[in-house]
Chains A and B, each alone.
Chain A
């Protein structure tokens, strides 16, 4: 079946570093990709929606300059956490769809020291 690959699965880095997370659709064309953030023991919160070839639409309260999203092709979207700080530590999950259904990646656990 359709698979979404998210990389890396876990990253630890120093405060001030920028971190890039990739989300790839492996066997379908993802016209839309979503990025979620999940705090410990909480639900997923949608951060932004990206359509291939256009700018991402960010949810209220999500800093566009902090969380850069690029969806340059139908199989790849990237989320870059710029100048990450400890409060950015979280579990980030992407999902992709070419219509229906939506497929989720396995998530990236980001820890900022």
Chain B
């Protein structure tokens, strides 16, 4: 079945450091891939998405490229800020399963000044 494997945290970085959070997936069809961010006490916010192979999603300095050959969708940011501290979830949505979402376990990021 479909699944998402996400790099475990927690991750602690200094401000302006480079961020990578790894995400790989397993899917029966051709899924859409997502990164969601969850700030403390809040719901999920869509950060970026990619709907087909080689697509690059980007938002607020974050990027992720849909790599079909490696079944990956790693999240990157060149220079993190304190305000980026949150939990990040990789997810996929597969039409073959009625657009159900499959989430990774989440990676907690703390950025220190």
Residues of chain A at the chain B interface (Cβ within 8 Å): 6, 32, 34, 41-44, 46, 49, 93, 95, 97, 99-102, 104-107, 109
Chain B residues in contact with chain A, CB under 8 A? 32, 36, 41-46, 49, 89, 93, 98-101, 103-106, 108
Contact of B99 among A42, A100, A105, A106 (CB under 8 A): A100
Which chain B positions have C-beta within 8 A of A49? 98, 100
Can you pick out 14 interface pairs between chain A and chain B where the beta carbons lie within 8 Å of each other?
A34-B101, A43-B89, A43-B103, A44-B44, A44-B89, A46-B101, A93-B43, A95-B101, A99-B99, A100-B32, A100-B99, A101-B32, A101-B93, A102-B93
Q: Which residues of chain B come closer than 8 Å to A97, judged between CB atoms? A: 99
CB-based contact A104/B43 at 8 Å: yes
A107 lies within 8 A of B98 (CB): no
- Secondary structure at the B interface, as helix, strand, loop or mixed, is strand
A95 cross-chain contacts in B, Cβ below 8 A: 101
| Cβ–Cβ contact A104 & B98, under 8 A | no
Across the interface, name the chain B residue whose C-beta is closest to A94. Answer: B43
B43, B99, B106 interface centre (most CB from chain A within 10 Å): B43
The residue from A41, A46, A93 contacting B100, defined by CB atoms under 8 A apart = A46
Chain A residues whose CB sits within 8 angstroms of the CB of B99 once the complex forms? 32, 97, 99-100, 102
Which single member of B45, B49, B103 contacts A44 (CB below 8 Å)? B103
**In angstroms, how far is the closest chain B Cβ from the Cβ of A43?**
5
CA of A6 to CA of B44 in the docked complex: distance in angstroms? 12
- Residue contact A42 to B101, C-beta cutoff 8 Å: no
Which A residues touch B44, using CB under 8 A?
A: 44, 93, 104, 107
In the docked arrangement, what's the CA distance between A107 and B106, Å? 16
Cα(A19)–Cα(B93), bound, Å? 30
Q: Which of A43, A101, A106, A107 contacts B104 (CB 8 A)?
A: A43
Further pairs besides A104-B43, A107-B44: 13, Cβ < 8 Å: A6-B43, A32-B99, A43-B103, A44-B44, A44-B89, A93-B43, A97-B99, A99-B99, A101-B46, A101-B93, A102-B101, A104-B36, A106-B42
